[in-house]
Structure 1
């Protein structure tokens, strides 16, 4: 049986591939456990600076594999469903809290939990055939699940978020782009190069500066106000200005060369 998640590390960049194409990369327990383990590990791995999240086959992720989550003998239905729910939600939390920016590349359908994987990423590109939906309400549940009610209004505004959450209807790549959900729509054979352009620019930044920039973006989504956001930014800038990498970046800028960062 093939691994449900493939990880390839090339220097400072890790590529994480959902690898259940025969099931449209739907989430089973093994896939979720693999994502949990890898994103949890990344919290202490500063050698990996950027993560690319993609999927094998014709779809990004069809959401929960309803046939793959069976309660163990003697476990109540509520307890089983709670365990399933928390297992998947934890992956989203780990993706948001890991210090590496996550660039997601999506083709085909991203439904339910697949949509939430994209919501939990930092930068998104998609193909023209991309479509997404908050599928939860289509299977008799509430439309708010796995972070959708938190991230969707912040990304696409309350009107489109409400439309998606209250109906479960699909949104295509054109609407995803026009509403700011993705950075660009590109042909499938250009997804990798679109990500690489961003990666190349990120790798020119100081390692700690990149990590703390993701941290500040995430924290300031929930900042109680402008003053609180400024306070966090001020503290990070003062801290970063004292690093050896900051001095090296300024020297390299003046000397018109690429910085030699040491994450110190």
Structure 2
């Protein structure tokens, strides 16, 4: 495992750290593959009763790595490009399938695929001055990874349109008001608050995992499943990537 993804487990709480601050934790295929491996390890550790995902530096996650997107834009359907983008999609989809309840501890900014990462968690604690930005259209890209589904299932159609189509940026208090986050606290307190919540449920890992599985089933998938939405969006995103590269 490289230093770009860190895993620490203490008292039943797994802390997964995005640790590529030089590029604001933007996801490359290699980093995404590491994340998937870490989530697999977390699931294999029966003592883990909760997971906190956080980022080092100024951003939680700045989305897909610019060079990765540029390279893929030359021919999004090429084997390596297609597989690389698929790994990035799979990394936050895999977070959404982790057996233990998950919390995103979000400081700085989250953009594009970084938004998908925090949306994939069961709960979000965000900094008061956080910047939550969908950002796809501003880059000339169609959203990917089931972004519309992930966002709208939390904030509803109106707010999802404002953010994903019209580029509205959201801070911590607005995120709480919209239902996009449970709580907003000062930047320095974000991770402590997330760990406090995680520690409560992690005391009984077996129950936590069972309750989380049923919680996700009972609160229901959206009208269009996340998996289907990812595939529905992908051809449009590939088209937009190729257009941008041209």
Pick the TM interval, shorter chain.
Answer: 0.7 to 0.9
- Aligned match of 2:182: 183
1:29, 1:69 within 8 Å by CA — same for their partners in 2?
Answer: no
Question: Whose RCO is larger (CA < 8 A, sep 6+)?
Answer: 2
1:129 Cα deviation after fit: 1.5
- In the superposition, the TM-score normalised over structure 1's length comes to 0.76
89 and 224 in structure 1: CA distance in 2 versus 1, 3 angstrom threshold = closer
Q: How many residues align?
A: 220
TM-score under structure 2 length normalisation: 0.81
For 2:162, the equivalent position in structure 1 comes to: 163
Structure showing greater radius of gyration is 1
Gaps of 5+ in 2: 224-246
2:209 corresponding residue in structure 1: 211
Whole-angstrom CA distance in 2 between matches of 1:50 and 1:63: 24
Provide the secondary structure at the position in 1 that maps to 2:54: strand
For 1:105-124, list aligned pairs within 5 A. 105-124=105-124
SS in 2 for 1:124: strand
- Distance change (3 Å), C-alpha of 1:223 and 1:16: closer
Match of 1:192 in 2: 191
Shift of 1:34: 1.0
Cα RMSD after superposing both structures: 2.3
Structure number having the greater helix percentage:
2
The answer to whether the 8 Å contact 2:108/2:127 transfers is: yes
In 1, the alpha carbon distance for the partners of 2:198 and 2:222 equals 32
Show structure 1 runs of 5+ residues with no match: 226-264
Aligned 8 A contact 2:60 2:109 in 1: yes
In structure 2, distance between residues paired with 1:155 and 1:200: 24
